[in-house]
Structure 1
C-alpha cells in the first residue's frame, strides 16, 4: 500500500495548479463584463454608463427579440411602485370619510368596496341581467385600475426588465379634498411631494420618467392650474417639471399629449365572457319605445350650454324621455334608474356638462343607446384608444352652434331623418364596443380585451415609440431644462 497523503505536493503538481489558476483568472478577466451582464438580466452596467444619457442600451432591443420566442411577456413587463408611501394611496382609503370635505363628491367609503366597484346591486327590478352590476362611482377609476394592475399577467419585480413603470397614486381622491381650498399650499403639496419622491428613485433615471404612468379618476383640467391666483381652479400637479415627463391616464384628457383619456367606469364589471354575451343579447333585443332621451341636469348658470334647449325640445316631443336630475325624488347616480331610461331609447343626448365629457355617455353605450354628441371633445378627441376613428359608425353629431339656433322639434326631425338601416348599423356597433368600454373583474380575464387591457397595451406601445426615437440617435434632452441632474420637458411630438 502507498503512503497516506501527508499534505505535501511535488513541484510538478504545484506548477500544474498555478497554470490552472492563471488560465481561470484570464478567462474571468476577458469574459467578466458579459458575466456581469448576465447577472443583471442582460443589461451591462458598463454599457449603461457610456454614450446613452438616459440609460437606454442599444443591444437591449436585440435581447428582447431573442427572448420573444420563449417569453410571452417580452416587451410587456410592467413594474409597480409598491413601495410608494401609503400617504399617496392607502391612507386615503383608510380615511375615506375625509374625501368628501369641501367637494361635490358623495361619501366615498361605500364606493371603495369590491375592488373600487362599490356596493353590488342585488335587485335591479329586471333592468339588469345578472349579478355583475355595482353602484360604481365615476371617481373610483384609479382604485379600479390599481386592483386590476395587481393581477396583470406580466408584472415584474425587476424594474430593469420592465417596459413601463406604473405608479399606484390616488391623485383624484386626494385632489377632491382641496379643489375648493383657498390655501394653494394645501392644493399643491401632495403633487409636489409625489414628484420629488418619484424623481429620486433609481427607476426614474432609466428614461427620466418617460416610461412612468399613473391614473386619475378626475379630469386632467383639475391638475393644470396656470397661476397662483386663488380663484383659479385645481392644483399644479401636471405643470410640475417631473410630472410633465410622465403620462397620466384620466377620464378626460387635456390638449397636452401626455394626458390620455380612458373610459369612465360604469356599473358593469363582468367576470366571464358569457356575462358579456348575455348582456349584449339583452340590449340587442330590447324594445325601444322612445326615439331619444336626455338624462341630466340643466345648467342655468351656463348661458352657452345647450342643455336648456335640449330640455325644452325633449319635453315638447312625445317620442322623448327626459330625466331631470335636479328634480325631487330622481337619483341619477342610481345605475338602475339611468339604465332603465337608456335601454328604452334609440338615441341618447350627450351634451357637455361641467366639462366636455360625461359618464352618461358610457352608460349610453352600455345600454345599446346610440349617443348624440354636440361637441367633438365629448368623445371624438378624447377616447382615441377605445373608440373607432370613424365616429359616424356609432354616434350622431350635431354641432353645438346649431343646437343654440335649433327650432322647436328640430332634434326630433334630425333623428327621424336617419334611415332604419343606418340606425340598426349604429346600434350594432355600439353593442359591439361594450366589452372594450368596461372594466372586468380583476380576479378573472375575459376572452376579449376590456378597457384596462386596451389602456395597458397602448401605454406600452406609446413608451416603445419613445424608445425607438432614442435608438435612432436623437437626443430628446437638447434645448430643455435640467433640474438637479434630471432632464425634463420631453418634446411632445415624440410621443
Structure 2
C-alpha cells in the first residue's frame, strides 16, 4: 500500500521540478528577447558602448570650393558635448565673418595664384594654412572628468619597422574615433603683473650678474585688446574654426594620443602653426632674466598678437579694419619713455604668420594683408616671423611650431636617441598636394617622380575627402620612416613640413634657398650641405634631373653624418612647453632671444660709434648680407632677382 503512494509522490515531485525548470527557461527567454529601451539617439552595441554613443543630429557645413565635402562644426567656446565620431577640420583660409559657418569659396580666381612676395600665407602639406586635425568630441567632453595623462601609452623607443595594409586600416579606425586628447588647459589670460618678475634687488643683481647682465628683457604691459582679449574671444579668430581648442595648454593645443607609438610618451600636442605668438609670449613669462626696470633691459618685448589680430580681417574686409590695431599699437609705443631711448631699435615682437601678410603695398581693399611691417615705427623694431622677406632687413624668420613641446631635458634626449635608432624603410618621401594653378610649382613633377620610384618613395597625397596629411600621426610616421623628405615651396617659400621632417630625423631636400637657408639664420647651420640637400627647382621642372638618382649618389657615410646633424638640430627648432623650463638644452625660444639680444647690442654699439653699417647696403640684398656678410656675386642671385 505504501509503495504505490511513495512512487506516485516521487512522480509528482519530479513533475514540479521539471515544470519549474521550464518556467525559468521561459522567463529567461522573455527577458532576453525584450526590446532595449534607451534614450533617443543612443545606440547600444554590445561591449562597444563607450565607442558608440551618439547624441543629437549632425551639424554639417560645406567646405569652401567643394560642394561634395562637409565639415562638422564644433560648438562655440569649446563646449564639446555631441557627435563623437565627427571630425573637426580647420579651414583652408580664415575670413572676416564672426560666425563659425564656412563660406563658399567664391571670392576670387586669384585664391591660389603663386605670389610669394605679395600674397597669401605659408604652404604646408595640402591647401595652405589648413592645420586639419581630427577631434574626438567625446574625448574632449570626458576630459573634464578624467585625467588623460594617466592613460597615456608607455614610451617605446622604436616605432614598428613595417607598415601593412592592416596597420594603416587600424590606424584610420583609431584616428576616426580618437583624434587627440585635450588636457586641462593652461589659462591664457594670466595676471600680467604676475608674469613679470619683480625688479631685481641689489642682492639679486649681484647673484645673477654673471648670467643676466646684458640679457635682461623688459616686457611692455600692453592694453589687453592687443593680446588677451583676442584669446578671450578665440572663437572669432577665424571664420571656419573655433580656435579656442588650439589656444589651450599655453597655446600648444590639445594633447595628441600616441597611436601606434609614433610619438614619445609625453610632450606631443596638436599645435596650430599660427599660434607662435601665444607660445612665445608664454615662454617669455618663464624667462629668468625679466625685469620691471626698463633701464636695466637690453631689449624690450612687445607682446602684440599680430598674426591672430590680422587673421580676423584678411578676407572680406577693408584695409582700415586690417590696419587699425597696428596703427593703434605704434601710437601707444611712441608715447612710452622706453621708445624714446632708442626710438624702438631695442624693441622686438613676434608675428605668427608669414611676412607677406603684413606688407600690403596698395591701398585697395583687394590688396592682400595689412601694412604693419611697412610702418616707420615697425621698421625700427626687430620682427620675428615664421617666414621673412629676403629683401628686407627688419624681419627675421624663426621656426614654425611643431607638435613636440618637451617639458624637460630628458624628453629631448630620449627623442633624439629614438630617432638615431629608427629604421627607415623609405629612401625619400613627400607629403603635399599638387598645385595645378601655379605655373612655377614643381609639385606635379615631384609627385610623378615619387610614383615612378615605386617602393623607394613614399607619397602622402594631401587631397581628397580622406586626407591623411591633416592627421599628424600619418605625417610623423612617414617622416620617421624616410631617409630624405622633399620640401618644395607652397604658396610661399617656407612650409611647416620642414620642421616636422627635422623633428623626425629626416634629411630635408629643398628646391629653393629661400625655403630655409636665407630664412632661419639663427637656428640652422650656414653650411646647408651638412644637414640638407638643394636641388634647383628649374632642373626638376624641365625634367633634367631625377631626384632619386641625385640622392642615391650621396655616399652612405655622408648620409649618416647629415642625419646626425639633423637630429642634433631638434632642440633648436622645438619650443618647450611654456609651463616648464629646460635646464641644459637651448630650444628655439632660447636661440631666438640670444639672436635678438646680439642684434640689439650691435645696433646699440653702432649708434654709440655713430655708425649704421646694418643699413649701409641695398636692402634688397639683405638675404646676401645677413647670410654671407658680403655683397659680391653669388650663385643664388637668380633665385632672388626682383622682376
Please, which of 481, 499, 505 is the counterpart of residue 368 of structure 1?
Answer: 505
Structure 1 residues 70, 172: CA separation in 2 closer, same or farther (over 3 Å shift)?
A: closer
Unaligned runs of 5+ residues in structure 2 are 1-198, 630-643
Taking structure 1 as reference, are residues 384 and 144 closer, same or farther at Cα in structure 2, changes over 3 Å only?
same
Shift of 1:231: 2.7
Deviation per residue, 1:153-188 (Å, 9 max, x gap): 000001111111101110001111111234111111
Deviation string for 1:357-415 (max 9, x for gaps)? 000000000001000000000000000000001000000100111110125x8111111
Residue 78 of structure 1 corresponds to 217
Once the two structures are superposed, what CA deviation does each residue of 1:308-338 show, in whole Å capped at 9, x if it has no partner?
Answer: 1011111121111111111221242322111
2 CA distance for matches of 1:253 and 1:67? 39
Task: Report the equivalent of 1:471.
Answer: 608
Q: Give the secondary-structure state (helix, strand or coil) at the position aligned to 1:332.
A: helix
The answer to whether the aligner puts 1:153 opposite 2:292 as a matched pair is no
Contact persistence 2:245–2:254 (CA under 8 A): yes
Could you tell me how far apart the structure 2 residues matched to 1:416 and 1:398 are?
Answer: 13
User: Which has the larger displacement, 376-385 or 128-137?
Assistant: 128-137
Moved more, 250-259 or 356-365: 250-259
1:88 and 2:226 are equivalent in the alignment: yes
TM-score, with length taken from structure 2: 0.62
How far has the Cα of 1:242 moved from its partner?
A: 1.1
Residue 306 of structure 1 aligns with which residue? 442
Query: What SS does the corresponding residue of 1:125 show, helix, strand or coil?
Result: helix
Deviation at 1:69, TM superposition (A): 8.5
Question: Matches of 1:308 and 1:315 in 2, distance apart?
Answer: 11
- Output one character per residue of 1:252-304: Cα deviation in whole Å (capped at 9) or x when no partner: 11121110000001010111221111111111111111111000111111011
Root mean square deviation, CA, Å: 2.5
* Cα deviation digits, residues 397-450 of structure 1 (max 9, x gap): 00111110125x811111111111111111010001101110012222241210
2:331, 2:394 → 1: CA distance?
Answer: 19
Deviation at 1:106, TM superposition (A): 4.2
Between stretches 327-336 and 121-130, larger displacement belongs to 327-336
The total of aligned residue pairs comes to 417
Matching residue of 2:335? 200
Q: Equivalents in 1 of 2:276, 2:449: separation in Å?
A: 34
Per the alignment, in what secondary structure is the counterpart of residue 138 of structure 1?
coil
Q: Secondary structure at the match of 1:346?
A: strand
Tell me, yes or no, if structure 1 residue 355 matches structure 2 residue 492: yes
Gaps of 5+ in 1: 1-39, 42-65, 480-488
User: Residue 479 of structure 2 corresponds to which residue in structure 1?
Assistant: 342
Higher mean C-alpha displacement, 240-249 vs 380-389 = 240-249
* Alpha carbons 2:484, 2:507 under 8 Å: kept: yes
1:352–1:378 contact (8 Å) kept in structure 2: yes
SS at match of 2:405: coil
CA–CA distance in structure 2, aligned partners of residues 251 and 93 of structure 1: 20
Partner residue, 1:271: 407
Aligned match of 1:130:
265
Contact 1:343-1:368 at 8 Å conserved across structures: yes
Q: CA deviation at 1:200?
A: 1.1
Residues 401, 575 of structure 2: 8 Å contact kept: yes
In structure 2, distance between residues paired with 1:106 and 1:365: 28
Which one of 347, 350, 355 corresponds to residue 212 of structure 1? 347
> Is the CA contact (8 Å cut-off) linking 2:258 and 2:265 kept in structure 1?
no
* 1:85-124 alignment runs, 5 A limit: 85-101=223-239, 106-124=241-259
Q: Indicate if the aligned counterparts of 1:306 and 1:404 stay in contact, CA closer than 8 A.
A: yes
Determine the structure 2 residue equivalent to 1:445: 582
Is the partner of 1:203 in helix, strand or coil?
helix
Q: Does 1:412 align with 2:548?
A: yes
Mapped partners of 2:466, 2:277: distance in 1: 31
Deviations 1:186-235 (A, max 9, x none): 11111111111111111101100110000011001110111112332110
For the Cα contact (< 8 Å) 1:67–1:74, is it kept in 2? no
Paired residue secondary structure (2:470): coil
Distance 1:280 1:328 in 2: 34
| Greater Cα shift, 178-187 or 249-258 | 178-187
Which of these residues, 422, 433, 437, is aligned with residue 297 of structure 1?
Answer: 433
Cα distance in 2, alignment partners of residues 361 and 336 from structure 1 = 16
Q: What residue is the counterpart of 1:284 in the other structure?
A: 420
Structure 1 window deviating more from structure 2 (125-134 vs 379-388): it is 125-134
Q: 1:52 corresponds to which residue?
A: none
Matches within 5 A, 1:388-427: 388-406=525-543, 410-427=546-563
Secondary structure in structure 2 of the residue aligned to 1:241: coil
SS at match of 1:100: coil
Q: Give secondary structure in 2 for the equivalent of 1:147.
A: helix
1:382 aligns with 2:538: no
Change over 3 Å in CA distance of 1:364–1:466 after alignment to 2: same
Match of 1:21 in 2: none
1:60 aligned partner = none
**Alpha-carbon distance change, 317 to 360 in structure 1, aligned in 2, over 3 angstroms:** same
The match for 1:181 is 316
The answer on 1:142 being equivalent to 2:281 is no
Contact kept? 2:253, 2:269, Cα under 8 Å:
yes
- Offset of residue 111 of structure 1: 0.9
The 3-state SS of whatever aligns with 1:347 is strand
The Cα of 1:71 is off from its aligned counterpart by 4.6
